[in-house]
Amino acid sequence: MKRIAVFASGSGTNLQTLLGWFPHKDPRAEITLVISNKQDAYALERARQAGVEAVYIPWKKNGREDFERQAQSLMQDRQIDLVVLAGFMRISSDPFVEFWRGRIINIHPSLLPDFPGLHPQQQALDAGVTQSGCTVHFVDAVLDGGDMILQKAVPVLEDDTADALAARIQPAEHEAYPQAVRLWLSGLAFPVPNLEEGTQEFGPGFADVLKSWEAQGLDVAQRQHAVRVARLLKTWDKPELVFAGLHLSADPVVALARSADDLRLGFMTLEPLQDRKNRWEARGRLLERAEALGLKEAFEAALHETALEWDRTTF
Ligand code: GRF
């Protein structure tokens, strides 16, 4: 079971949602520890009420180093696997973020890259956009700038106030955050590998992959998709196609892997049940293609978790 630490500075409604999910609705993880830089944060109280260890670590003026040292030692001791920032109103240091690369995520109440930083709802109103929402993303050295995991949109209404918009975004956050954690637990959410990581995983050809992604202007979601496809092809015992996967080539086996990935991701992240139902039920054509390519079992294995999820879905 994976062990999650949640950092929160405020009321902790996101924490509450996550406490409801892990391990009760998804036993692959538990919330092990809640840390706050505010002694009176209601998030700490929510943790205590759920029987979860709740720790206040003061963040004194210029006290980031002390805070992070204490948090790190506690998290090491509790063998934390994932750090979830949920309304944690402090900026972490580069070494802290680097240490947790790929294992630290944040939620922000805007559709990033729009409106990072403070008062994102007011920023959205000032910009006159017609929709906003929330983004779950990996944390890196750029404020609200790490690779995205998923977004949920909500409408911005005429005469909206920042508070009204925040209240409309909040339920979207409560949908998005558990989904993002579950994608992470399934190995489907990760930061795009950098040159070193990609070379280690796929070999020296990865440098060219990065160049071609750049040249084609692939966004983060497309790059993550390409990596998931390449990983699928590895598990399908098609090592010769791994780079074709990274390049999202038109090869029929690569195309099948892409469809499998689209299906499982879409199924996990779509909200309306009817959309999920449609997506799942439309997979017959893909199954036929998989069978024709001698990949029926591989294809079904790739969708195993999605199938379990489907079985648990009630209408
Ligand atoms: C959320 O809107 C989150 O996106 C932002 O801070 C708020 C935290 O809310 N970063 P809560 O403490 O989870 O209720």
| For the chain, percent of residues with pLDDT exceeding 90 | 88
Looking from the CA of residue 11, the nearest atom of ligand 1 is: 12
Q: Which residue has the higher pLDDT, 204 or 142?
A: 204
DSSP 126-178: HHT-SEEEEEEEE--SSTT-SPEEEEEEEEPPTT--HHHHHHHHHHHHHHHHH
Looking from the CA of residue 107, the nearest atom of ligand 1 is: 4
Mean pLDDT taken over the chain: 96
Tokens 């199954």 sit on residue: 287
CA 8 – ligand 1 centroid, Å: 8
According to DSSP, the residues that pair with 152 across neighbouring strands are 134
The torsion region of residue 163 among left (phi > 0), alpha (psi -120 to 50) and beta comes to alpha
- Determine the residue of 9, 88, 89, 107 to mutate for testing ligand 1's pocket, defined as the one with the most ligand atoms within 8 A of the Cβ atom: 107
Rounded Cα distance, 255 and 26, in Å: 31
According to DSSP, the residues that pair with 105 across neighbouring strands are 84, 138
According to DSSP, the residues that pair with 82 across neighbouring strands are 4
Ligand 1 neighbour 295 (Cβ under 6 A): no
Checking if the pLDDT of 47 tops 70, the result is yes
User: Is the C-alpha dihedral spanning 111, 114, 118, 124 positive or negative?
Assistant: negative
Rounded Cα distance, 241 and 181, in Å: 29
Rounded Cα distance, 247 and 303, in Å: 22
- The average pLDDT across 37-54 equals 98
- Check residue 270 and give its pLDDT: 82
CB 67 within 8 A of CB 54: no
DSSP 194-207: -HHHHHHHH-TTHH
pLDDT band for position 203 (cuts 50, 70, 90): very high
Strand order of the β-sheet with 148-155 is 53-56, 29-36, 2-7, 82-85, 104-108, 131-138, 148-155
Checking if the pLDDT of 87 tops 90, the result is yes
- Check residue 273 and give its pLDDT: 85
- Check residue 61 and give its pLDDT: 87
Q: Which domains does the chain have, with CATH numbers?
A: 2-185 (3.40.50.170), 195-312 (no CATH)
Q: Which of 24, 108, 119, 174 is catalytic?
A: 108
- The average pLDDT across 264-270 equals 89
- Check residue 315 and give its pLDDT: 58
- Check residue 264 and give its pLDDT: 94
User: Is the C-alpha dihedral spanning 153, 157, 159, 165 positive or negative?
Assistant: negative
| For the chain, percent of residues with pLDDT exceeding 70 | 99
CA 305 – ligand 1 centroid, Å: 30
CA 165 – ligand 1 centroid, Å: 13
- The average pLDDT across 193-219 equals 97
Rounded Cα distance, 4 and 86, in Å: 12
Burial letters for 139-161: b for 16+ Cβ neighbours within 10 Å, e otherwise?
bbeeebebbbbbbbebebeeebe
Write the residue with the smallest CA distance to atom 6 of ligand 1: 87
Q: Which residue has the higher pLDDT, 268 or 174?
A: 174
Q: What is the pTM of this model?
A: 0.95
In the residue annotation, 174 being an active-site residue is answered as no
Checking if the pLDDT of 31 tops 80, the result is yes
- Check residue 271 and give its pLDDT: 77
Distance in angstroms between the alpha carbons of the first and the last residue of the chain: 29
Rounded Cα distance, 255 and 257, in Å: 5
> Residue 25: what are its φ and ψ, rounded to 5°?
-100, -20
Checking if the pLDDT of 256 tops 70, the result is yes
Cβ-based neighbour number of residue 271 at 10 Å: 12
Ligand 1 neighbour 6 (Cβ under 6 A): no
Cβ-based neighbour number of residue 214 at 10 Å: 10
- Determine the residue of 89, 173, 175 to mutate for testing ligand 1's pocket, defined as the one with the most ligand atoms within 8 A of the Cβ atom: 173
Looking from the CA of residue 17, the nearest atom of ligand 1 is: 13
Q: How does strand 131-138 pair with strand 104-108?
A: antiparallel
Q: What is the pLDDT of residues 59-76, one digit of tens each?
A: 998 899 999 999 999 999
In order of 198, 213, 214, 238, 253, the CA distances from 208 in angstroms are 11, 9, 10, 20, 22
